[in-house]
Structure 1
């Protein structure tokens, strides 16, 4: 809760209640990735069976019970990532705020490490505060496990980050995978070895495949995926054992070998492995033996690929964190090669497990395991083709960004936002490629400028400003309208971060361009930026005049896009701040009409937020509530965390003004927890929003007694953001509106249903409840449904909150 609270609403017990309630539920998270809640973290589903490693999993769990930083070490392909994910999955109930996987293979710059971790957790930063401070503040009261995967290229940065956030968050544990240790204070090391392989003469002739050990079990299970009729028998077990020996029990090597059963027999696979490894032993002897084995397996797979497949394998290494088919066609397709041929070649690599297909809605997406990708990069550099492929990669993503910018002011905003989020790592690589070469700085500036809406809507303003600063620093071309627009966008971000000196400097540079070129556009950009500086500064009257002048110039060009219409929003906000309610409402209505004519959601959402504020100023509370709820409906598909939490916060203030204090307390608890994911606190900017919020808190404190207040806070703290939005929109039963107490059931509950409710509060699934109570799963599901019906609830969270309150005052007999 906010540190400025007073009285009951600010008591330490309320902090504890909210934190405990959030910890008990089985699905806490913040909105991330287009509005989807992440329940208990973001660990990926296991698409293939997990084999062996029981001892290692148990050892990791034991280490994490006492150590706060555990590093799994071992060479690439030994299975560190899969082991870490499995261990994290098994301990997730020990961490009330979830287990979170941060994949770092695609992060090439140490400076971006903290931002990557924050983004994975859903922490949004719009300010100039150092990301490490925002992240530490967010983690301070949380109990969670971070899995930092593939850290070897960022070892120093990871060690520094771990030291800072572990010092700030007592409930934090970190599990690392790396080819070598981080050399961080308090680090506990667990080496990960390949699977043991049996001697052929020691093989058993009875029992299931598990009798042969993990290496042969893994081979058999992956072979069954290729050929469902495959089985280890007394006739082939010796050959399988020898294959696993040749592969030295390395999981990745085994997984790369089994797809060849589609075209080769076991004997042929063994013979080719023998030939390949004999060649390797004549080669480099400086690498560790098992690393030579993995390289040999990759060499062998590479040589068995067709020339087209080899070339594509190498070309795909320029992508980071996945890619789609259009990217492959644009980056890796030669002019003389038909696109259907590229698709067939890609399908061949998927068939051989060199490329992994992942699903993202209706569009397929692909990725490579990092070891396979690094091998491909080595091959690409051998051919001398890396520079060409990186240039094509950069050009493809430049076209993508500029197309997104052109289509952003329309009905496909959510699609574009989700697409850019998925390709975020590739965008960073493309921007970095532009700035590596001075003659390409103009390209980098075009790309960073085109993404202005993405930096804002995705909550990435600091990162956007970083790229724009770098691009402007490297820019060496003549003054132009494009340069002025980039300066204007950079000044807009600076103003949003209260960096008024940078904002005014950008305005001066725009004016210099206007004098040099005679450009009206550059002069308008300068006027716009100066208005923004005044808007966020101490001169609201000047801000209104300057923004009005800029808007007049924009209108004269007949341009209709997000950046031009953004001026309406800024000017409306300024008029409302000045008390010019009717003018502010008029501008909001103009903006809404323009947005709705184009199917635009993003600015429409903010226009509805300000419309609600205008109705509030006119004491028309019902219309204010209707407008802010419509704002939430509009913003939800985009996942713009800033707009959503502003709306929830304002709705809470409106509810208490209308006399519904219990509901207001629930909404404020949702907002408070979400503000922690945005710079750690409610924005303390200009205007009377902070004062209204404090007044809301005071009224809640005055109108609710301790028991009802605590129950409402527990309820709000236990809701995920999606559930909080549903609550705000009355999409679930609301005790505050129906007249039922948040802790009193409307119908009698049986003893067995009380037992089931208690287990739900402990985070158990229906299956786990059935096991604990020795009943069928269907019976357990029936009890849960009866509880929901009797209590008038729609979620398990509400049941957990209710039983927790009941147990505090009425222990089960």
Structure 2
């Protein structure tokens, strides 16, 4: 049966109802129809992000490749804007290409809507990237949010005002009409959610209207006030807010500037907290991005905020809408709205909090360095939501020797997730006289980037430093990695000399890391010079050691090399066994470069097994992923892949070969991996579903009629009917209900 792909995009689910903004949504649609960049502009707390995300959700079905959210609010380094965009689009900085080049290549033929949120503190960097994207990708449209325009070419600015205010005298309005006012409706809905039974009545209408007017229709301020209905009636909230505003305006009744209105509301909400809640909220502002309960307890729970009250206090701040909770990889993570974070930071006392924060992340990253290679999935799951805090710490430690040590400790994150970023941090933070381990990590990253001109000299410096310091363990790994770099540079004689020394040194040591590095160097250099027996033997030894040690990254590499050595030796059955063992591991670690090579390897195995169509599809899928990740095929793999491609072309003929290659290139990565592992049959000429058919299937599952599907996708109702018939035929179904079940079933 054909398999579905997840709905393209990464827009967050809306946790609360979306209120109002019909005019702004309609205007934004018009501006996007006229141009390709709309910047939603307004003060903090006015609801720019909610508006942009709702707009994107409404329009996503009209874009073949969906809608994607790039959040810049937590980012402070303009050099990382591209990396942040890549991560949001589920791209990987893991190979030789520069991130900007990879991003533009990915978007060049894409048809998607990009939401770039919170640009105000990175205007030049955000505008520069957006401008390049729009020039390189003609079918991409962008919605940006900012407190100021980007001043980019072709920009259409959409000012977002506060919500429309109700009339000054609510007694002139029927109650039902008042309920239709957006500001009032927002207050009532959030108050009902907070208290469970709040309603707008004749008794409280005057206070609710006055509150919405006093809060200038600012959504964040209204939400903060509405939460207080758990304990206070609207009139009581109004009285207390009046007192707060009177203090700020020296007793006059003049309206405050909107940013002061929001600050006053935050200040009043803060005053309503218990002392422990106030202290915790203030301390939470130390985090640069998202954080977990463990982080809170390690950094913020001391003095009058005891650890045993952490869950209670955090829950209270979430309930009061001062702290936001987000799901992430099975655990709860938290973050502060940027406006709240700024206010909370202004209330913080100098109590050594920054040092506690720095020490916490230094300890965690040191553990990552020690344990990461043997508990890789667990540690990558930890670091991904924490990366903004770690980036902030790297920036804070600029000029401090601990900065280089921290960047070095992140080796397994840089290797699997952020190769170019890691190289940049090490170049910036590490002095010329860096430690041997720092040289090893920088050289390793340069080898992954296929840049021996950088790798060889930095690794040679590391070798000299390790010899001078009498550190045989790191010396052994440095020698092996320098041998790989020398081989990459075409210096076979130096590679052999360095490898011989590494082999001799590792023989006397009981060090898993050193042994694995030596096995990898022996395998790669032997594959490169055609010594297939040595390559098979070294890779097999490395695979056994990796498997017993629980080193998933190294195991994937060893199995991959073992498989290609077997392929080139004519043992396709052995190669397939190794590739099939490696691919689920690469999928679990989410190593895209390894997945790319393994797709090609299994395509070559299919060619040997006289399954040419499946072989061509897998080779096409490899090529598609290779372009996406910027991978460069190692010389030791190239002969097997070239031979497979030639044999499949001969078996299918040029036209069918090219057609099958295109089918593979068009597959999603998830579908290609399933095909490679025989979790699904090779798709025939009528499957899997096209992207447009997937869009229709999702809307069918949502109970949308054919007429409304056509309106949303800008196609005729007759065309929708044709798509539905095709979907039913391809999936072997008879009813729309079966389509809905297929869409909602979890993916394997």
Q: Same fold (TM over 0.5)?
A: yes
Q: Aligned equivalents of 2:423 and 2:209: distance in 1?
A: 56
Q: CA deviation at 1:770?
A: 5.9
* Structure 2 equivalent of residue 469 of structure 1: 427
SS of 1:318's partner is coil
Q: Aligned equivalents of 1:417 and 1:486: distance in 2?
A: 20
CA contact (8 A) 2:481 2:517 kept: no
Q: CA deviation at 1:695?
A: 4.3
Compare 253-262 and 552-561 and name the one that shifted more. Answer: 552-561
- Alignment match of 2:162 (pick from 184, 187, 194): 194
* Structure 2 equivalent of residue 400 of structure 1: 364
Q: CA deviation at 1:334?
A: 2.1
1:455 paired with 2:380, answer: no
- Alignment match of 2:652 (pick from 692, 704, 713): 704
SS of 2:217's partner is coil
Q: Which structure 1 residue ranges, 5 or more long, are not aligned? A: 1-21, 28-37, 736-740, 746-753, 801-813
- Alignment match of 1:149 (pick from 117, 123, 133): 117
Q: CA deviation at 1:760?
A: 5.1
* Structure 2 equivalent of residue 422 of structure 1: 385
CA contact (8 A) 2:190 2:223 kept: yes
1:212 paired with 2:180, answer: yes
Q: CA offsets, 1:668-717, max 9 Å, x none?
A: 332232223212xx5155x1534544444444444335775566356434
SS of 2:169's partner is helix
Q: CA deviation at 1:63?
A: 1.3
Using a 3 Å threshold, how does the CA distance of structure 1 residues 263 and 131 change in structure 2: closer, same or farther? Answer: same
Q: Aligned equivalents of 1:644 and 1:203: distance in 2?
A: 67
Give the 5 Å matches for 1:505-584.
505-514=457-466, 516-521=468-473, 523-524=475-476, 526-561=478-513, 565-584=516-535
* Structure 1 equivalent of residue 716 of structure 2: none
- Alignment match of 1:241 (pick from 205, 209, 212): 209
* Structure 2 equivalent of residue 596 of structure 1: 547
Compare 84-93 and 692-701 and name the one that shifted more. Answer: 692-701
Q: Which structure 2 residue ranges, 5 or more long, are not aligned? A: 710-722, 744-748
SS of 1:357's partner is strand
CA contact (8 A) 2:297 2:307 kept: yes
Q: Aligned equivalents of 1:320 and 1:574: distance in 2?
A: 44
Q: Aligned equivalents of 2:163 and 2:545: distance in 1?
A: 63
1:610 paired with 2:561, answer: yes
Q: Aligned equivalents of 1:597 and 1:305: distance in 2?
A: 53
Q: CA deviation at 1:323?
A: 0.3
Compare 279-288 and 643-652 and name the one that shifted more. Answer: 279-288
CA RMSD across the alignment: 3.3
Q: CA deviation at 1:488?
A: 1.7
Q: Aligned equivalents of 1:556 and 1:379: distance in 2?
A: 58
Q: CA offsets, 1:740-760, max 9 Å, x none?
A: x53399xxxxxxxx9x99965
* Structure 1 equivalent of residue 681 of structure 2: 733
Using a 3 Å threshold, how does the CA distance of structure 1 residues 760 and 522 change in structure 2: closer, same or farther? Answer: closer
1:134 paired with 2:102, answer: yes
Q: Aligned equivalents of 1:702 and 1:529: distance in 2?
A: 40
* Structure 1 equivalent of residue 719 of structure 2: none
Q: CA deviation at 1:336?
A: 7.1
SS of 1:147's partner is strand
Using a 3 Å threshold, how does the CA distance of structure 1 residues 782 and 392 change in structure 2: closer, same or farther? Answer: farther
* Structure 2 equivalent of residue 788 of structure 1: 731
1:444 paired with 2:410, answer: no
Q: CA offsets, 1:298-338, max 9 Å, x none?
A: 11111111222222212111212310011111111226753
Q: CA offsets, 1:501-550, max 9 Å, x none?
A: 33232234234434644444564455334313212110235324423422
CA contact (8 A) 2:37 2:143 kept: yes
How many residues are paired up?
725
TM-score of the superposed pair, with normalisation by structure 1: 0.83
Q: CA deviation at 1:241?
A: 0.9
- Alignment match of 1:723 (pick from 668, 671, 679): 671
SS of 1:676's partner is helix
Using a 3 Å threshold, how does the CA distance of structure 1 residues 413 and 656 change in structure 2: closer, same or farther? Answer: same
Q: CA offsets, 1:413-443, max 9 Å, x none?
A: 21111111111111111111111xx4xx222
1:495 paired with 2:447, answer: yes
SS of 1:501's partner is helix
Using a 3 Å threshold, how does the CA distance of structure 1 residues 308 and 728 change in structure 2: closer, same or farther? Answer: same
SS of 1:180's partner is coil
